C-alpha cells in the first residue's frame, strides 16, 4: 500500500472494489493489510474482509495464527464470521479457544 499512486483510484475506492470480489485471491492482500501496522488501513481491510465468503485454507490458517498471537482485528474478524457465515460456528472456532 502506498507504493504506487493512481490518482483515479483512492484507497477508499480500492477497498470498495475489493469488497465486490467476495473472496478468493483478493483475501490474501486484504489480510496483509488487516494484519499490518497502519491502523486506518487495517480497519478498512477488516471491514471488507467481513463481507468476504470465499477464503482459502491458507487464509484461515493466517487468521488462526493472528488470533492465537492476540491480534485484536483477527479476533474481531473471526467473531464476525461465526455470527454471519453460512459455516457452522464450530468450523471457525480455533481449538482450545473461546471466541
Q: Tell me, yes or no, whether 38 lies in a domain.
A: yes
| pLDDT mean by block of 10 residues, the chain; 99 residues | 80 89 86 95 94 87 95 93 63 52
Q: For the chain, what is the domain count?
A: 1
Does 97 reside within a domain? no
Confidence (pLDDT) at 96: 54
pLDDT at 94: 53
- Parent domain of 67: 11-91
What pLDDT score does 22 carry?
79
Residue 71 domain-assigned?
A: yes
pTM of the shown model: 0.77
CB within 8 Å of 87: residues ≥ 6 apart:
81
Q: What is the rounded distance in angstroms from the CA atom of residue 87 to the CA atom of residue 40?
A: 29
Q: What is the pLDDT of residue 83?
A: 81
- Residue 84's CATH number: 1.25.40.310
Distance of alpha carbon 95 from the chain centroid: 20
70 within domain boundaries? yes
Amino acid at each position: 500500500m502506498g507504493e504506487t499512486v493512481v490518482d483515479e483510484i483512492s484507497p477508499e475506492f480500492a477497498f470498495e472494489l475489493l469488497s465486490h470480489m467476495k473472496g478468493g485471491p483478493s483475501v490474501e492482500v486484504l489480510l496483509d493489510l488487516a494484519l499490518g501496522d497502519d491502523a486506518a488501513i487495517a480497519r478498512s481491510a477488516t471491514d471488507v474482509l467481513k463481507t468476504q465468503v470465499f477464503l482459502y485454507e491458507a487464509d484461515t490458517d493466517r487468521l488462526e495464527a493472528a488470533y492465537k498471537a492476540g491480534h485484536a482485528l483477527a479476533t474481531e474478524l473471526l467473531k464476525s464470521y461465526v455470527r454471519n457465515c453460512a459455516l457452522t460456528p464450530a468450523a471457525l472456532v480455533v481449538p482450545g479457544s473461546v471466541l
